[in-house]
Amino acid sequence: MKHIHLLFVALVAIGFVGRVAMAQYRPEMLAVKWVKLSPHILAGLLLLTGIGLVFQGDWLSGSYAWIVAKIILMVVFIGLGLLTMREQGQNRWLAFAGALLTLFFIVKIAVTKQVLFFL
């Protein structure tokens, strides 16, 4: 299950970067049905595998602040992703940088199980 979850993490990240490139250079491609649907499907599968990992690893029995932090940061990532896709110019790139930084922080928390960035 862990490897499937990591696959979906990679696909979501690559898909996000690809969609930003499309929005910048070929915005007409964003109207294609599978391009519109794929981020939602991948995010849903990512969420389902994440929930499966939580229950499979029995991580709710101990300290689970890191799981809550990942969920909160995922909401932030989605919000910044929406801004990235809707904004133009410098605002798009600032939101994109913020989304990538948030994604990096989510991965860091997943690896270390520590919520604070300096631990």
The reply to whether 52 falls in a domain is: yes
Q: Which amino acid is at 5?
A: H
The reply to whether 11 falls in a domain is: yes
Per-residue exposure over 47-75, b if at least 16 CB sit within 10 Å of its own CB, e if not: eebbeebeeeeeeeeeeeeebebbeebbe
Torsion of CA 38, 44, 48, 51, to 10 degrees: 130
pLDDT at 88 over 80: yes
The reply to whether 21 falls in a domain is: yes
pLDDT at 10 over 60: yes
- Rounded to a whole number, what is the largest CA-CA distance in the chain? 48
The reply to whether 39 falls in a domain is: yes
- Indicate the number of domains in the chain: 1
Q: Which amino acid is at 119?
A: L
The reply to whether 117 falls in a domain is: no
The reply to whether 86 falls in a domain is: yes
Question: Is the sign of the CA dihedral 3, 8, 13, 15 positive or negative?
Answer: positive
The per-residue pLDDT for 57 is 72
**Token code pair at residue 117:** 């960035």
Q: Which pLDDT band, with edges at 50, 70 and 90, does 61 fall under? A: low
Separation of alpha carbons 30 and 99, rounded Å: 19
Cα 4 to Cα 10, 89, 91, 99, 117: the distances in Å are 10, 35, 34, 22, 26
Residues spanned by the domain of 79: 2-112
The per-residue pLDDT for 112 is 87
* Count of other CB atoms within 10 angstroms of residue 3: 8
The reply to whether 119 falls in a domain is: no
This prediction has a pTM of: 0.85
